[in-house]
Structure 1
Amino acid sequence: MDVKTEQEFKNKVCIITGGAGSIGCATALKVFNAGGKVALIDHNLEQLEKVKNEFYDRDRLLILQADVSNSQDTQNYVSQTIAKWGKINALFSNAGFSGTSAPVTDYPEDVFDKVMAINVRGSFLACKYALPKINNGGNILITSSIMGVTARPGSIAYITSKHALIGLMRGISKEAAPRNVRVNILAPGPVDNTFQLEIEERASKASGTNVTEMLNNWIALGRHATPEEIANMAYFLMSDKSSFSTGGVFMADGGMHV
């Protein structure tokens, strides 16, 4: 990093949900290493405790356990961030749940509801309670997916939720624009991480095919992304480098959707 990049997030405060996961943590480290202050939110406190060791300045780090689908938990992580640092510049609503693999006729209703609660309600609540506290000129980034712009059999809840997030983003981008608060979607393709591996193992078992190999054949660049590659896009969209981008769906899928 050059000096300017090192200071790009100096004195800026960013909330990241799903902060203990590979994409959330990698993004947090990039913001942190550029001078930012980061509130990492996740339901898995044990994993949060592990990842916090990667941050050398604990005064610029806040870790909070929360159920993102719970209104009180959401208000709590927003208020605690404000209490510690007095402001919010960016929200990265990144928490997600993949559900299970089954055709719509067999899809468990409770699993469908859980996927929608975490993926859609979680981002709705994050925006509802963080937006009023975000500084003018700040931004919101929401993680959707390649499945937010396309579809496949057997993942009806995940696909529905990720499509819904694009509608959520577009509506909020219109509401937030008068304060110059930008709102965008990050839509990753398959990523080489635990979250994606679990999806592919379920799909491989259900279909009797090697889904990882199949996906690599569908991706124009022929491979899964690294978490750091997705974090690079997230960092760009939360930085001033994307100052004229709002209401957009930014693909990071190696050309899979083309």
Structure 2
Amino acid sequence: MSEKQTLPPQHQDIPHGSEAQMDPPPVYIDERYRGAGKLEGKVAVISGADSGIGRAVAVHFAEEGCDIVLLYFDRDEDARHTQAEIERRGRQVLPLAGDVADAGFCRQVVEQAIGKWGHIDILVNNAGEQQPQEGLEDISEEQWEQTFRTNIFGMFQLTKAALPYLKDGSAIINTTSITAYKGNPMLLDYSSTKGAITTFTRSLALNLAKRGIRVNAVAPGPIWTPLIASTFPPEKVATFGSDTPMQRPGQPAEVAPAFVYLASNDSSYVSGQVLHVNGGSVVNG
């Protein structure tokens, strides 16, 4: 075994990957985590909530007393698992499958959430995709457009649909990435969208400050999620996260508490900021 090996070599030949097929399975909540009712009575819409960071956020929010609108693309098995974990914590969940880049779907999501609970308090824009390529010449126009469509157009559409129902005290949290600050030679389109998300976060925070709506982001470093197992070759997966100061990948459970902080009143004086959960890398951003 290589000194840099952090995970068993593996690859999934399915778009976006499936958490059910990962070895080892990601940790989406630490058994020592104890909710304190920080989101009691609130409703959160979370995109990409079937697996990875989205699942971890949904389960942590449920642990804090929040009901969840669980948005996902097409991984029904993963979504059912997440739904069961939310319900096991005594919270309600509304699972909806669709494309967040579709304005019509986003309007339906909001209509159903309002119809069920009458309010939306938290929006987590987490859905994303990546397709590594060796160079710019290898990225087709179709891939470039699809990455932007999912990662930033979807964020625009879902936020636009939910915004009329967000009130003073509401929170929007976007998932950006360390790649927005350090770049990544194999993820040119993905990194570009994450830079756009960071700027979108800062600009929207300024725009909504007068309405009492806080907008922040979390920039994860290498986190063990289905995207990693489905987009990188086995030898790359085997050393994933070894180049961080902590020399390992992070778990979704290590990222989700940052979302809890930004969603709760603990961060009432925080807006336009990015929390860096990346294993110790200093990015000064």
TM-score clears 0.5: yes
Distance 2:41 2:67 in 1: 7
1:12 aligned residue: 42
Q: Give a deviation string over 1:7-36, Cα, whole Å, max 9, x none.
A: 221110101000102211111111112111
Matching residue's letter, 1:27: V
Do the aligned residues in 1 keep the contact of 2:62 with 2:91 (CA within 8 Å)?
A: no
Per-residue deviation, 1:153: 1.3
How far off its partner does 1:195 sit? Answer: 1.3
Percent identity for Structure 1 against Structure 2: 27
- Tell me which amino acid in the other structure corresponds to 1:244: Y
Residue 160 of structure 1 aligns with which residue? 192
Could you tell me whether the CA contact under 8 Å between 2:218 and 2:276 is conserved in 1?
yes
**Tell me, what secondary structure is at the counterpart of 2:94?**
strand
Distance (Å, rounded) in 1 between the aligned partners of 2:166 and 2:240: 42
Residue deviations 1:81-123, cap 9 Å, x none? 1111001110000000012323112211111111000000011
Structure 2 residue 43 is the aligned partner of structure 1 residue 43: no
Q: Which residue of 1 aligns with 2:26?
A: none
* Alpha-carbon displacement from aligned partner over 1:152-198 (angstroms, at most 9, x marks no partner): 21211101111010111111111111121110111000012221233
State yes or no: 1:222 paired with 2:247. Answer: yes
More strand by percentage: 1
Aligned equivalent of 1:69: 101
Contact 1:16–1:91 under 8 Å retained in 2: yes
CA distance in 1, matches of 2:182, 2:145: 21
TM-score normalised to structure 1 length: 0.90
Q: In structure 2, do the counterparts of structure 1 residues 194 and 182 end up closer, same or farther at CA, with 3 Å as the change threshold?
A: same
Query: Structure 2: where are the runs of 5+ without partners?
Result: 1-31
Corresponding position: 1:213 with 2:239: yes
Normalised by the length of structure 2, the TM-score is 0.82
Aligned to 1:132: 164
CA RMSD between the two structures: 2.0
Q: Which of the pair has the greater relative contact order for Cα pairs under 8 Å at 6+ separation?
A: 2
Higher helix share: 1
> 3-state SS of the aligned residue for 1:8?
coil
Name which of 256, 267, 275 aligns with 1:231: 256
Whether contact under 8 Å (2:66, 2:91) holds in the other structure is no
